[in-house]
Structure 1
Amino acid sequence: MREIVLDTETTGFEPNEGHRIVEIGAVELFNHMPTGNHYHQYINPERDMPTEAFQVHGLGNEFLADKPKFIEIAQDFLDFIGPDSKLVIHNAKFDMRFLNAELGWVKKPLIADDRAVDTLTMARRMFPGSPATLDALCRRFSIDNSSRTLHGALLDSEILAEVYLELIGGRQPGFGLNLDQHAQNAGPSEIWRPAPRPQSLPSRVTEIEAAAHAAYVEKLGENAIWKR
C-alpha cells in the first residue's frame, strides 16, 4: 500500500481571497515504511508574500521570484502522488482546498477528497481534549522536531510521517506480511524494495539507559545472548 505524507505552505488562509501555495513537500510510504522517495518544490505565487506569512515560513518575495509557477510543476506533482495513493495530511481540509484550487486554475484534474487521511482528526479522536498540533504530537510521541524553527513543507511532512506511524500503532503495524502478496501481483519494475534513508536517524538511547543496560548484561554472565 502506497501512501504520500504531504504538507503545503501558503501565502495565507483562503485561496478564494487570492492566496497561493508557495511550497509543497511530500514523502512516500510503502506498507507504512518510508522508502526514501520524496517530492519538494518551492513555487512562485505570482503575488506578494504577506509579512506575517514571511515570518512563519521564512520565504520572501526575492527568494520565490525565480521559482517555477504552479502551472509549470502541476503535472510533476500529480505524477508523484499518483492516481490513487492515500494522502496523509495534518488538517487535510486546508491543504486539499489549496491544492484543488491551484489544480483547477491550471485546468488539471482535482484530487478526490476521500483520498485524504487527516491526522488532525485522528489525533483528536485518539486524545480528546488534548492539543493536536504537530508540535504537541511530537512532544507526546517523543519525536525530535528541534530543527522546526520555521514551517517548511518537506521537514513538516517528514515529521508528520513519524507522527502518523505512531497514530496508527507504531511503525509497520502489519509487520510487512503482505509484501509477498504485493510481489506476486506486481511486475518486475513494480516490486518495491526499501531504499536507504538519506540520513541515519539519531539514536534515542540516552547515556544513562545505555550504561544501565550494560550493567544489567554484565550481571548475566559470559553466556548472555547479548555477548555472543
Structure 2
Amino acid sequence: MREIVLDTETTGFEPSEGDRIVEIGAVELIGHMPTGRTYHQYINPQRTMPAEAFAVHGLGDDFLADKPLFKDIADDFLTFIGDAKLVIHNAAFDMKFLNAELGWLHKPALPMNRAVDTLMIARRKFPGSPASLDALCRRFGIDNAARTLHGALLDSEILAEVYLELIGGRQPDFALAQGSADSTQKNGAAWRAGPRPAPLASRLTAEETAAHTAFVNAMGDDAVWKRA
C-alpha cells in the first residue's frame, strides 16, 4: 500500500482571501515504511509574504522571487502523489489550499476521502490531550529539535514517524526492511513468504512422542486425533 505523507506552508489561512502555497514537502511510504523517495518544492506565491508568515516559515519575498509558480510544478506534484492516500496533519487545511491552487488551473480537485488526517486520529486516540505535531513528538519520544521553523519537508518527515506510531508502530505490515519496500515498488505486489526448501526437523524427543501417543490412546477410539 502506497501512502504520501504531506505538508504545505502558506502565506496565510484562506485561499479565498488571496493566500497561496509557498512550499510543499512529501514523503513516500509503502507498507507503512519510508522508501526514501521525497518531494520538495518552494513556490513563488506572486504576493508579498506577510510578516507573520515570515516569522513562522522564515521564507521571504527575496527568497521566493525566483521560485517556480504553482502552475509550473503542478503536474510533477500530481505525478509524485499518484493515486496514493495522503497522510496530513489537519488535512482540511492543506487540502483546501491544494484544491484551490488546482482549481485556479482548472484541474480536478483531490477528493477529501483520499486524506488520512493524523490530527483526527490523535484526538480519537488521546481524547483531551494536546494533538499538535510537537505535542505528539513529545508523547512518542520523536526528536524534533531541528523544527525551529515550520518547513514542509521536515514536517513531513516528522509526521511520517508520528503517523507510524499512531497506527501502532513501525511494523504493522511486517515490512521490516527497506528491501521489502523496494521490491514492492518494483514488482507492484506485496512480498509474500515462500515455502521452506526443506522442512524443519522435529524438536520432539522420543519420550515426548511416546507420552503423547499414550495420552491419545487413553482417550479411546472416539478421540478426534484418531478420526480419519
**What is the TM-score when the length of structure 2 is the normalising length?**
0.78
1:104-157 Cα offsets, whole Å, 9 max, x none, are 001122101100000000000000000000000000000000000000000000
Matched position secondary structure for 1:98: helix
Range moving further from structure 2, 167-176 or 145-154: 167-176
Give the gaps of 5 or more residues in structure 2.
Answer: 192-228
Correspondences of 1:79-228 after superposition (within 5 Å): 79-82=79-82, 84-176=83-175, 190=188
Give the gaps of 5 or more residues in structure 1.
Answer: 194-228
- Could you tell me which residue of structure 2 aligns to residue 37 of structure 1? 37
Instruction: Please report how far the alpha carbon of residue 191 of structure 1 lies from its aligned counterpart in structure 2 after TM superposition.
Output: 6.0
Give, as a single letter, the amino acid of the residue that structure 2 aligns with 1:137: L
Correspondences of 1:19-38 after superposition (within 5 Å): 19-38=19-38
Matched position secondary structure for 1:137: helix
For residues 139 and 132 of structure 2, the distance between their equivalents in structure 1, rounded to whole angstroms, comes to: 11
For residues 14 and 75 of structure 1, the distance between their equivalents in structure 2, rounded to whole angstroms, comes to: 23
Give, as a single letter, the amino acid of the residue that structure 2 aligns with 1:53: A
Pairing 1:70–2:101 present? no
Give, as a single letter, the amino acid of the residue that structure 1 aligns with 2:166: L
- Could you tell me which residue of structure 2 aligns to residue 9 of structure 1? 9
Query: How many pairs does the alignment contain?
Result: 188
For residues 67 and 165 of structure 1, the distance between their equivalents in structure 2, rounded to whole angstroms, comes to: 33
Give, as a single letter, the amino acid of the residue that structure 2 aligns with 1:102: E
Deviation >3 Å, runs of 4+: 186-193
Give, as a single letter, the amino acid of the residue that structure 2 aligns with 1:81: I
Instruction: Please report how far the alpha carbon of residue 38 of structure 1 lies from its aligned counterpart in structure 2 after TM superposition.
Output: 0.4
Asked if structure 1 preserves the Cα contact closer than 8 Å seen for 2:33 and 2:175, the reply is: no
Could you say what the CA RMSD is over the residues aligned between the two structures, in angstroms? 2.2
Identity score, percent: 75
**What is the TM-score when the length of structure 1 is the normalising length?**
0.78
Change (3 A) 1:168 1:71: same
1:45-73 Cα offsets, whole Å, 9 max, x none, are 00000000000000000000000000000
Give, as a single letter, the amino acid of the residue that structure 2 aligns with 1:161: A
- Could you tell me which residue of structure 1 aligns to residue 226 of structure 2? none
Instruction: Please report how far the alpha carbon of residue 172 of structure 1 lies from its aligned counterpart in structure 2 after TM superposition.
Output: 2.1
Matched position secondary structure for 1:74: helix
Change (3 A) 1:77 1:188: closer
Give, as a single letter, the amino acid of the residue that structure 2 aligns with 1:101: A
For residues 16 and 169 of structure 1, the distance between their equivalents in structure 2, rounded to whole angstroms, comes to: 38
